[in-house]
Amino acid sequence: MAEKLTQKQNFLKGIIKDNPVFVMLLGMCPTLGVTSSAFNGLGMGIATLFVLLMSNIVVSLIKSQIPSKVRIPAFIIIIASFVTIVEMVLEAYIPFLFEQLGIFIPLIVVNCLILGRAEAFASKNNLMSSIIDALGMGIGFTIALTALGAIREILGSGSIFDWRFVSEDANTMLLFILPPGAFIALAYLSVVFNKISKTN
C-alpha cells in the first residue's frame, strides 16, 4: 500500500473499489461453482471470510518470524490448517451445507484471494489493519457470492433462500442453476457492477 488509508477506507475498499470478485477476479472457482442458490453462496462466503480473517491475523502476528524465502509455503500451511477446521466444523454441525459445497471446501486452500491478501497485505501491515482488511475483503466476497446465488436462484428455481414465490408447476429458467448460467449471470452482474462503480 503506497498511500495511507484510513481504517474506514481500508474496510470499504474490499467491498467496492477492490471487490475481490468483480474487480480483482480472485476466487473465481467457488464463485461460479457453489452459487446455485443464495444460501450456498452465503455459506461459502462466510467460510471463506473465516479462513481469510484467521489467516490474516496469524500471518500478521508472525510475519517477522517467517524467513521471506519460505513465506509462501508457510502461508499455505496456515491457510490449510484453518480450512481443515472449517471442513470439520461444517461436517459436524451443518452436514447439509457440507454436502452442497462438497469439493469446494477443501479448495478454499487454493482460493487465490486468501493467499493474495496474506502476501499483499497481512505480511506487511499490523494486526488491526489486517483484521479490517480481511473483514472488508471477506464481506465483499460474501456479498458478491450471495448476490450471484440469489440471482441464479430467483431466475433458475423461482425461490430465494429456499422460499419459493412461484407456484410448483411454473416454468423457471432452469439454465441459470446449471453451469452455463453461472458464467452468464456473473458476466451481466459484472457489467452492472462496473457501471455502478465507475459512475461513483
SS3 for the chain is CCCCCCHHHHHHHHHCCCCCCCCCCCCHHHHHHCCCCHHHHHHHHHHHHHHHHHHHHHHHHHCCCCCHHHHHHHHHHHHHHHHHHHHHHHHHHCHHHHHHHHHHCHHHHHCHHHHHHHHHHHCCCCHHHHHHHHHHHHHHHHHHHHHHHHHHHHHHHCEECCEECCCCCCCCCHHHHCHHHHHHHHHHHHHHHHHHHHHC
Task: Name the residue nearer to other proteins (CB basis): 79 or 143.
Answer: 79
Task: Name the residue nearer to other proteins (CB basis): 163 or 183.
Answer: 183
Give the number of other CB atoms < 10 A from CB of residue 104: 18
Task: Name the residue nearer to other proteins (CB basis): 110 or 127.
Answer: 110
* Shortest spacing between CB 3 and other proteins, in angstroms: 25
Task: Name the residue nearer to other proteins (CB basis): 18 or 87.
Answer: 87
Task: Name the residue nearer to other proteins (CB basis): 4 or 198.
Answer: 198
Summarize as ranges the residues that interact with other proteins (CB under 8 A): 25, 28-30, 32-33, 72-73, 76-77, 80-81, 83-84, 87-88, 103, 106-107, 109-112, 115, 175, 178-184, 186-188, 190-191, 194-195
Cβ atoms of 153 and 160 within 8 Å: the answer is yes
